[in-house]
């Protein structure tokens, strides 16, 4: 992934401070906390606290315990900002989707939705190490540079730019992976997958 292939367009609300907007923009470019800290000349702790603050505001949950247990906050924050039109992307897009089997494609969608490794492990009835191994497979398939970028966000951007997943599909997945929706599924992967298949016809 190269920065010249993507431009982030910010449309943040007036109540978002300039610092939070700059951090959100950096997140959208898949920068790591360390890189954001260096680029903005702020501490990593400040980066982390602002990500948490934005997550609690936009994900509408006062207690962050459920958020952190369910979501990778960085990923979910980014998707929320995209769905709510606080950010948009201008890609050098090309249609060259990576060929994935059904299970890996479902995992890709749920990773892009921002579900945490621990939550995914419960959902797929696997260990967190098994989830990490499958994520590594996805990183390899999509040529994610895990040393330079935040791997989850880089995967998110590359999958979008290669047309593996569309914004429309992400918006639908977003609705099915709110805390309220997930509470209905109760870690029932088959029910979630069946619902996605029957409603949206983009799996299987």
With b for 16 or more beta-carbon neighbours within 10 A and e for fewer, the 165-194 pattern comes to beeebbebbbebbbeeebeebeeebeebbe
Q: Which residues contact 19 (CB under 8 A, 6 or more apart)?
A: 40, 42, 50
Question: What pLDDT, on a 0 to 100 scale, did the predictor assign at position 3?
Answer: 41
pTM comes to 0.86
Q: Which residues contact 190 (CB under 8 A, 6 or more apart)?
A: none
Task: Give the model's pLDDT for residue 4.
Answer: 44
DSSP annotation of 31 reads -
Measuring CA to CA, which residue among 131, 150, 203 is closest to residue 173? 203
32: which 2 tokens? 């790591």
9, containing H or E segment? strand 6-10
Q: Say what the pLDDT of residue 201 is.
A: 55
Q: Rounded CA gap, 174 and 168, in Å?
A: 10
pLDDT tens-place values along the chain, 204 residues long: 544 477 888 888 888 999 999 999 999 999 999 999 999 999 999 999 999 888 888 876 544 567 778 999 899 999 999 999 999 988 775 667 888 888 899 999 999 999 999 999 988 989 999 999 999 999 999 999 988 899 999 999 999 888 888 888 889 889 889 888 888 887 788 888 887 776 555 554
The confidence score (pLDDT) of residue 95 equals 66
Structure tokens at 154: 């880089």
């Amino acid at each position: 992934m190269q920065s010249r292939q993507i431009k982030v367009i910010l449309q943040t609300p007036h109540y978002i401070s300039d610092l939070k907007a700059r951090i959100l923009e950096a997140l959208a470019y898949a920068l790591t906390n360390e890189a954001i800290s260096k680029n903005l000349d702020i501490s990593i702790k400040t980066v982390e606290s602002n990500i948490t603050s934005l997550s609690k505001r936009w994900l509408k949950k006062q207690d962050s315990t459920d958020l952190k247990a369910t979501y990778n906050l960085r990923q979910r924050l980014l998707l929320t900002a995209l769905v709510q039109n606080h950010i948009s992307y201008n890609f050098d897009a090309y249609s060259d989707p990576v060929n994935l089997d059904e299970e890996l494609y479902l995992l890709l969608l749920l990773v892009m939705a921002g579900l945490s490794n621990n939550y995914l492990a419960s959902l797929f009835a696997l260990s967190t190490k098994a989830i990490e191994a499958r994520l590594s497979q996805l990183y390899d398939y999509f040529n994610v540079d895990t040393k330079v970028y935040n791997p989850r966000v880089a995967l998110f951007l590359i999958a979008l730019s290669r047309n593996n997943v569309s914004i429309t599909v992400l918006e639908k997945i977003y609705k099915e992976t709110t805390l309220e929706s997930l509470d209905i599924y109760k870690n029932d992967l088959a029910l979630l997958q069946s619902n996605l298949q029957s409603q949206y016809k983009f799996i299987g």
